Amino acid sequence: MEKIDLSQAIAKAKELPVLPQTIAQLLHELQNPDLDIEELSKDIALDQAITAKILRLVNSSFYGMPGQIGNLNQAVVILGLDTIKNVVLTIAMVKAFKLHDLREEGFMLEDFWRHTIATGLITQALSKFSDAPNKQDAFVAGLLHDIGKLLLLQVAPEGFKRAFNMVKKDELFFWEAERKLLSADHTELGAWLGKKWHFPVHLQEVMYFHHRPEKSENKLVHSVHIADGLAIALGIGNSGCTFVPKISRKAWDNLGLCSVALRELLGEMEGIFEEVGQTAKILLE
């Protein structure tokens, strides 16, 4: 069977995913270490959808203040800039891709986003136990790691369907099926899109190396590799892969993790389960 040429599929695509301008501006502001909360709140207020979701999130039972916060400034202070960045980026990603569920094949977008949100939250939790740099981007790295799969679904839906069905039929990992059927896999597509969107190099590396962390010295790559495996093992959402990948020894050792750290991390899983549920319910509507 001839492989599907994804470079041709991208060239022929009528529409490629783009970051909405208002969201791109907010993400740029959130990188500023001298950010003014009031100015940020004013800019967030220009996007009613983001404003509504932030207020719903801060008033959710997870934060323990249901129905008490009606002021955007207060919400930004309570949630913190890292959470605000996570909210903005999650909304940006959902908006950027014009996709539909593949119900017949059993692939649901909401389940995909639950997996990536869980991977982001577990990566964030892992950062407490390691000396990895760029810890402020831990959630973002987890959220973005599989973005190449969505690009594949958008530009070559038939290729995605074939890979997804081969995963189930031949008991393969998703990237293994992709390499059998396509000219590139989702890690290459994700890194290409990350470069096109001008994401930092350390995030592009996460997209490219998260299934082969032994080829990278980037500790954020190693964190996402482990978090991805844990999210799959715990059955949070669905990345399109039904088998739990083997955790790289290099990734584990390079983060300086030990059995005590793993027990502490697993102890946080209940809270992560709850946060994934609350966050996904609000942000994906």
Q: Can you say how many angstroms the Cα of residue 267 is from the centroid of all Cα atoms in its chain?
A: 22
Give the mean model confidence (pLDDT) for residues 243-264. Answer: 84
Confidence of residue 2 (pLDDT cuts 50, 70, 90): confident
3 within domain boundaries: no
Same domain, 85 and 127: no
E strands, the chain, are: none
Which residue in the block uniquely carries the two structure tokens 């959808």?
49
Q: For residue 117, what are its two tokens?
A: 């949100």
Give the mean model confidence (pLDDT) for residues 170-186. Answer: 95
Q: What is the CA radius of gyration of the chain?
A: 19
Same domain, 111 and 235: yes
User: For the chain, how many structural domains are there in total?
Assistant: 2
34-53 confidence digits (pLDDT tens):
888 888 888 889 888 889 99
2 within domain boundaries: no
Per-residue model confidence (pLDDT) at position 146: 96
Same domain, 71 and 110: no
- 48 CB-side CA count, 13 A: 0
Amino acid at 152: L
Helical residues (DSSP H) of 237-268, grouped into ranges: 249-254, 259-267
Per-residue model confidence (pLDDT) at position 134: 77
1 within domain boundaries: no
Q: Identify whether the C-beta of residue 91 lies closer than 8 Å to the C-beta of residue 57.
A: no
The domain in which residue 89 lies consists of: 18-96
Domain stop point among 96, 123, 145: 96
11 within domain boundaries: no
Per-residue model confidence (pLDDT) at position 1: 66
CATH code, domain with 244: 1.10.3210.10
Domain stop point among 67, 96, 125: 96
Same domain, 144 and 266: yes
32: number of Cβ within 10 Å: 11
Q: ∠ CA 11-165-95 to the nearest 5 degrees? A: 50
- Say what the pTM is: 0.90
CA-to-CA dists, residue 211 to 146, 185, 187, 246, 251, angstroms: 10, 11, 8, 10, 11
Same domain, 77 and 30: yes
Mean pLDDT (the chain) is 88
Per-residue model confidence (pLDDT) at position 85: 85
Name 4's bridge partners: 182
Same domain, 154 and 192: yes
Confidence of residue 150 (pLDDT cuts 50, 70, 90): very high
Same domain, 86 and 225: no
